C-alpha cells in the first residue's frame, strides 16, 4: 500500500477533515458503520435500479400504441321518435336527429330534447330518405318528391369564465322538386365543397336526378348561385341501391341490387357509364358505398354483410377498375349503416344488430358493438374527434359511447408487415412520417428502418471484421512485444475518435474519393496480396535484404507495401475504368447491373463505421488471443509446428470464443451508431441491398425525427419503440458476448 494510506491509518491524531466520522467511541463508530452500510446498500440499489429503469420508461412511452381501443357507454336516452340519421358536435355536448317530421336537437349532457327548428315550406311532408355527411351537411328526401339540402352548425361560444356553450343552428337551402309525380325520394347522395354542392337522387328505375348548385364569388364580394338540374339514365340490372360521389375523378358511383358497381362520368355531357366492379357474386346487392377520409378508398358493403375496401384504378384512358384491398370482418346480415372519421381512415359500418369500427389503412376491425335487446340500429355516427360513437335504434333510444382510441392506425401488423396504402399498387413496407397535404397519411412501417440498420451494420462488419481480426492476430502472435506496446494503444486511440468526426470525414472526404477511386478500391486486396507475395519471394531469394523484415518487425515493411499497393491499385483502377468500364464506373454499373450509384452509400458508411468498430473488435480479440495460456503455444512449437501452424491450429481455436464475443460487441456498436449513418447516407428509407445505395437506420431516424415529433403523438411513441428495438438488440448481443467471454475466462483458468 502507498505511504499515504498508511499515514491515514496512523492515528486519529492526524488532523483530517473527516475526523468527525472517526470518533474514539466504539458505539459511535459502529453506528457510523451501520449508517454507511445502509447508505451504500440503498444508494447502490437505487442507482442500479434507476439505470435499469431506462427500459421501463421507454416501454412506458410506446406501450399506449398497442393498447386495445376501449368503448364505454356514456349515456342513453329516448328521442321523440325514431331517428333516421344522427350527428354530433366535436365536444359531444349536442346532437341532432333527423326524424320523420323534421330535425330535432338534443342536449347530450342534459339527456334531453332542446328544440325542433322550424323548416320553411315543409308542407307537412315526411322524411323518406336522408344522406348526411360528416361535415353536417344534410340532404333530406321527402315524401312529396322533393329534396331538401340543409346545413347544421354547432357554434361554440365562451363566457367570461371561459365556460363553453354550444348552440346548434339549422341553415336551410332551397328545396328542389325531383319527382314530378310526387312519389317519395328514398336514396340520395351529395358532395359538398367550397364551390357548391351536387346532389344525386334516385328518381326511377335506372334513373338518377342530378342537381348541382355552384357558388361563385362575384366582384362585389357577394356570391352568385347557379343551379342546374338534369336526369341521367344508367342501364342497370335491378335497382340502384347505393350512390356516392367520387370527388377525385368527378364521377358518380352507383351500386345495384344485382351487385354491380357502375361509374358515371360527370365531366362528359353524355354521362357514359361503365361497369367498374361487383360484389362477390351476382344477386348480392350493394347496400352502401362510401369513401373514407381523403376520398381515395371506397368502402363497399353488401347484403351478405361483407365489408371491403377498394381503390379505383385507371387501367387505360377513361377506363377504370375497382381493385379490392382489404376484407373487413363481415356482419351477420346486410350492412347498410356507415359513417367515416374526419381525423383518420377509420369508419363505422353497421347492420341492424351490430356496429363495427374498421380502419382503412390496416384492414383491421377494431371494435364491435351489438345492439341491446330487441332493438335494431337505425343510425350511427362517429364523433368528429374520433372519440365517440353515437347510435340511434328503432326503439328511439340514443346511445353515446365514449371511445379511447388514440392510435387507431397502430398495430404490430402495420408496423412490421406490408400495408396497402392509398395510391400504392400493392402492399408494401413504407416509412414516410410527414407529407405535404393535410390529408396526408403517415406511413410508419419500421421494417425499412430495421433493414437499414442491418444493412449498414452488415457492410461495416464485412469491412471491419477481417481487418480487425487480422490485425489482432498479427499483433498478438507475430509482433515484437516492444513494438506491440506502442502499436496497440495507437489502434485503441481510434476508438476515441468521436463518431461525428468520422461521419463528417466520411461524407465530405471519403465519399467523393470513393466515387472517384471505386475500381481501385476493388482491386486493392489483390494488388496488395500480389505485392506481398513478390516481397516475400524477393526476401527469400536475396538474403542481403533480410534486414528489411526481421521477424516481428515486418510491420514496417508492410506499412510501406500496403501504402504502395494502395497507390498502385488506385492508379490501376483508373486504367481499368477507362479501358474496361466504359470510362465511368457509375455508367458501367448502371448498364451492366442496373444499380444506381449514390455518392453517400452503404460502402462509405461501411468504411467509416469500420473506423469506429475496428478498434473495439481489435482490442477484445487481441486480449483473448494474448491471454491464451503460454504453455499451449510453447508445447506446440516444441512439437515442431511452425509459428503459423501453432497460431492457426492451437491459439485460434482456443481463443475463438473471445473472438466471437469481440465480433458481437463490434456488431452491437455498429447497430446503434448514429452520427455516421446520419451523415454518410442519404437517409432515404429504401429497401435495397445494393452497396451503392443509401439507407435509413433506426438510430439516425430517431435523431432526425424526434425534434419534429409532438410529445405523445404516434410518431413520438414509434420513435420510442425504435429505441426499444435498438436497446433490446444491443443488450441481447452484448449479453451473449459477455457470457461467452466469462465462460472462456473460466476455461483458461482450467488450462
Partner 1 sequence: MQKVGKKIWQRGDLFIWWTGAGLALSLIMTVALLFGVVLNASQFFWPGEIQVVSLKDNSSILGMQMEREMIPDLGDVAKKTDTYRIQIKRGNRDIYNSDFIWVDEKDIKSIHLPDEVVAIERREWGYFFGHIKEVRDGDKVVAHGTTESLQAIIDKLPQSKTINEQIKRVQKKEIGTINHKMERVRLKLKKLTLADITTGKEVDALKQEIPRLQAEYKILEKKLTELRTSQTAQLVLQTIEGKEKLLPLSQVLDIYNPNQFSLLDKVVYFMRSIQKFICDDPREANTEGGVFPAIFGTILMVLIMSMLATPVGVLAAFYLREYARQGAMVSIVRIAVNNLAGVPSIVFGIFGVGFFIYTLGGSIDQLFFPEALPTPTFGTGGILWASLTMALLTVPVVIVSTEEGLAAVPKGIREASLALGATKFETTWRVVLPSVMPSVLTGLILAMARAAGEVAPLMITGVVKLAPTLPIDGFWPFIHLERKFMHLGFHIYDVGFQSPNVDAARPMVFATTLLLILMVIFLNMAAVYLRNRLRKQLTASAV
Binding to partner 1 in span 630-689, by CB under 8 A: 642-645, 648, 665, 668-669, 671-675, 678-679
Q: Considering only residues 33-62, where is the footprint of partner 1 by CB under 8 A?
A: 33, 36-37, 40-41, 43-45, 47-48, 51-52, 54, 57-58, 61
Q: State the Cα–Cα distance between residues 583 and 524, nearest whole angstrom.
A: 19
**Least distance to partner 1 from the beta carbon of 642, Å?**
5
What are 592-598's contacts with CB under 8 Å, separation 24+? 595/690, 595/692, 595/693, 596/692, 596/693, 597/515, 597/692, 598/682, 598/692, 598/693, 598/694
Nearer to partner 1, 109 or 739 (CB): 739
Nearer to partner 1, 106 or 463 (CB): 463
State yes or no: residue 596 binds partner 1 (CB under 8 A). no
Nearer to partner 1, 418 or 745 (CB): 745
Beta-bridge partner residues of 359: 346, 364
What are 643-648's contacts with CB under 8 Å, separation 24+? 643/477, 643/478, 647/473, 647/477, 647/478
Q: Which residue has the cell 365517440?
A: 388
Nearer to partner 1, 341 or 476 (CB): 476
Q: Which stretch binds partner 1 (CB under 8 A): 81-89, 102-110, 417-425, 463-471?
A: 463-471
Q: Which stretch binds partner 1 (CB under 8 A): 167-175, 195-203, 412-420, 719-727?
A: 719-727
State yes or no: residue 545 binds partner 1 (CB under 8 A). no
Q: State the Cα–Cα distance between residues 351 and 335, nearest whole angstrom.
A: 4
Nearer to partner 1, 33 or 370 (CB): 33
Nearer to partner 1, 169 or 731 (CB): 731
**Least distance to partner 1 from the beta carbon of 604, Å?**
14
- Asked if 409 and 443 touch (Cβ cutoff 8 Å), the reply is no
Q: State the Cα–Cα distance between residues 14 and 61, nearest whole angstrom.
A: 54
State yes or no: residue 408 binds partner 1 (CB under 8 A). no
State yes or no: residue 598 binds partner 1 (CB under 8 A). no
**Least distance to partner 1 from the beta carbon of 33, Å?**
4
Among the listed residues 353, 401, 344, 392, the one whose alpha carbon sits nearest the alpha carbon of residue 373: 353
State yes or no: residue 491 binds partner 1 (CB under 8 A). yes
Give helix 714-750 / helix 698-705 axis angle, nearest 10°.
Answer: 140
Neighbours of 437 (CB within 10 A): 7
Nearer to partner 1, 384 or 519 (CB): 519
The C-alpha cell that represents 468 in the structure block: 480487425
**Least distance to partner 1 from the beta carbon of 688, Å?**
24
List the one residue from 204, 215, 315, 493 that touches partner 1 (CB under 8 A): 493
The C-alpha cell that represents 494 in the structure block: 481510434
State yes or no: residue 32 binds partner 1 (CB under 8 A). yes
Q: How many residues bind partner 1 (CB under 8 A)?
A: 115
List the one residue from 171, 215, 315, 533 that touches partner 1 (CB under 8 A): 533
What's phi and psi for 733, nearest 5 deg? -60, -45
Q: Considering only residues 604-623, where is the footprint of partner 1 by CB under 8 A?
A: 611, 614, 618
List the one residue from 474, 517, 597, 660 that touches partner 1 (CB under 8 A): 474
List the one residue from 703, 715, 745, 748 that touches partner 1 (CB under 8 A): 703
Q: Which residue has the cell 397519411?
A: 441
The C-alpha cell that represents 430 in the structure block: 413504407
Nearer to partner 1, 423 or 583 (CB): 583
Secondary structure letter of residue 428 according to DSSP: B
**What are the strands of the beta sheet with 377-382, ordered from one edge?**
70-78, 397-404, 388-393, 377-382
Nearer to partner 1, 83 or 520 (CB): 520
Nearer to partner 1, 54 or 638 (CB): 54
What's phi and psi for 386, nearest 5 deg? 60, 35
List the one residue from 226, 250, 578, 596 that touches partner 1 (CB under 8 A): 578
**Least distance to partner 1 from the beta carbon of 513, Å?**
10
Nearer to partner 1, 127 or 729 (CB): 729
- Strand bridging mode 196-204 / 207-217: antiparallel
Amino acid at each position: 500500500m502507498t505511504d499515504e494510506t498508511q499515514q491515514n491509518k496512523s492515528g486519529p491524531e492526524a488532523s483530517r477533515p473527516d475526523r468527525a466520522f472517526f470518533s474514539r467511541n466504539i458505539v459511535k463508530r459502529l453506528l457510523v458503520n451501520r449508517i454507511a452500510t445502509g447508505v451504500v446498500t440503498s444508494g447502490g440499489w437505487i442507482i442500479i435500479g434507476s439505470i435499469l429503469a431506462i427500459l421501463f420508461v421507454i416501454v412506458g412511452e410506446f406501450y399506449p400504441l398497442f393498447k386495445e381501443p376501449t368503448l364505454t357507454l356514456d349515456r342513453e336516452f329516448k328521442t321523440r321518435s325514431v331517428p333516421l340519421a344522427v350527428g354530433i358536435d366535436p365536444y359531444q355536448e349536442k346532437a341532432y336527429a333527423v326524424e320523420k317530421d323534421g330535425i330535432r336537437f338534443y342536449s347530450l349532457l342534459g339527456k334531453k330534447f332542446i328544440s325542433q327548428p322550424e323548416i320553411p315550406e315543409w308542407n307537412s311532408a315526411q322524411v323518406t330518405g336522408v344522406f348526411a355527411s360528416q361535415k353536417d351537411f344534410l340532404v333530406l328526401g321527402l315524401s312529396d318528391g322533393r329534396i331538401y339540402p340543409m346545413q347544421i352548425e354547432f357554434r361554440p361560444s365562451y363566457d367570461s369564465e371561459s365556460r363553453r356553450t354550444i348552440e346548434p343552428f339549422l341553415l336551410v337551402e332551397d328545396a328542389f322538386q325531383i319527382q314530378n309525380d310526387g312519389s317519395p325520394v328514398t336514396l340520395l347522395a351529395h358532395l359538398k365543397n367550397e364551390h357548391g354542392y351536387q346532389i344525386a337522387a334516385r328518381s326511377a328505375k335506372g334513373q338518377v336526378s342530378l342537381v348541382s348548385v355552384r357558388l361563385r364569388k362575384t366582384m362585389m364580394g357577394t356570391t352568385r348561385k347557379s343551379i342546374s338540374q338534369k336526369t341521367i339514365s344508367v342501364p342497370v340490372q335491378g335497382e340502384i341501391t347505393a350512390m356516392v360521389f367520387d370527388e377525385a375523378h368527378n364521377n358518380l358511383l352507383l351500386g345495384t341490387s344485382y351487385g354491380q358497381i357502375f361509374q358515371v362520368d360527370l365531366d362528359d355531357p353524355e354521362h357514359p357509364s361503365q361497369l367498374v366492379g361487383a360484389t362477390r357474386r351476382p344477386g348480392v346487392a350493394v347496400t352502401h358505398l362510401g369513401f373514407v377520409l381523403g376520398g381515395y378508398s371506397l368502402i363497399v358493403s353488401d347484403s351478405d354483410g361483407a365489408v371491403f375496401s377498394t381503390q379505383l384504378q385507371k387501367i387505360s384512358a377513361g377506363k377504370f377498375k375497382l381493385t379490392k384491398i382489404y376484407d373487413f370482418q363481415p356482419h351477420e346480415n346486410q350492412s347498410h349503416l356507415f359513417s367515416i372519421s374526419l381525423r383518420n381512415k377509420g369508419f363505422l359500418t353497421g347492420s341492424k344488430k351490430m356496429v363495427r369500427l374498421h380502419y382503412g389503412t390496416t384492414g383491421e376491425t377494431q371494435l364491435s358493438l351489438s345492439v341491446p335487446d330487441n332493438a335494431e340500429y337505425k343510425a350511427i355516427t362517429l364523433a368528429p374527434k374520433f372519440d365517440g360513437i353515437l347510435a340511434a335504434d328503432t326503439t328511439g333510444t340514443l346511445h353515446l359511447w365514449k371511445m379511447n382510441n388514440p392510435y387507431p392506425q397502430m398495430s404490430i401488423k402495420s408496423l412490421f408487415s406490408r400495408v396497402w396504402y392509398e395510391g400504392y399498387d400493392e402492399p408494401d413496407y413504407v416509412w414516410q412520417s410527414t407529407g405535404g397535404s393535410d390529408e396526408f397519411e403517415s406511413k410508419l412501417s419500421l421494417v425499412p428502418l430495421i433493414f437499414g440498420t442491418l444493412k449498414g451494420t452488415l457492410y461495416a462488419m464485412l469491412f471491419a471484421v477481417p481487418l480487425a481480426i487480422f490485425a489482432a492476430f498479427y499483433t498478438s502472435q507475430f509482433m515484437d512485444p516492444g513494438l506491440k506496446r506502442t502499436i496497440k494503444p495507437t489502434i485503441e486511440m481510434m476508438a476515441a475518435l468521436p463518431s461525428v468526426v468520422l461521419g463528417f470525414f466520411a461524407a465530405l472526404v471519403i465519399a467523393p474519393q470513393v466515387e472517384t477511386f471505386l475500381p481501385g478500391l476493388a482491386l486493392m486486396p489483390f494488388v496488395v496480396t500480389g505485392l506481398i507475395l513478390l516481397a516475400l519471394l524477393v526476401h527469400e531469394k536475396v538474403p542481403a535484404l533480410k534486414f528489411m523484415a526481421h521477424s516481428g518487425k515486418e510491420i514496417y515493411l508492410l506499412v510501406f507495401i500496403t501504402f504502395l499497393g494502395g497507390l498502385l491499385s488506385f492508379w490501376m483502377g483508373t486504367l481499368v475504368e477507362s479501358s474496361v468500364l466504359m470510362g465511368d464506373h457509375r455508367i458501367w454499373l448502371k448498364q451492366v447491373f442496373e444499380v444506381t450509384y449514390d455518392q453517400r452509400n452503404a460502402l462509405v458508411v461501411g468504411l467509416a463505421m469500420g473506423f469506429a468498430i475496428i478498434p473495439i473488435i481489435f482490442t477484445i480479440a487481441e486480449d483473448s488471443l494474448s491471454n491464451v495460456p503460454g504453455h499451449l503455444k510453447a508445447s506446440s512449437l516444441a512439437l515442431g509446428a511452425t509459428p503459423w501452424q501453432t497460431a492457426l491450429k492451437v491459439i485460434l481455436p482456443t481463443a475463438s470464443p473471445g473472438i466471437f464475443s469481440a465480433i458481437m460487441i463490434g456488431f452491437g456498436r455498429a447497430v446503434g451508431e448514429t452520427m455516421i449513418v446520419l451523415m454518410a447516407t442519404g437517409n432515404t428509407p429504401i429497401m435495397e441491398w445494393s452497396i451503392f445505395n443509401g439507407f435509413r437506420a433506426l438510430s439516425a431516424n430517431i435523431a432526425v425525427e424526434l425534434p419534429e415529433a409532438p410529445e405523445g403523438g404516434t410518431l413520438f411513441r414509434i420513435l420510442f419503440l425504435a429505441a426499444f428495438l435498438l436497446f433490446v438488440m444491443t443488450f441481447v448481443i452484448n449479453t451473449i458476448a459477455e457470457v461467452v467471454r466469462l465462460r472462456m475466462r473460466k476455461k483458461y483458468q482450467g488450462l
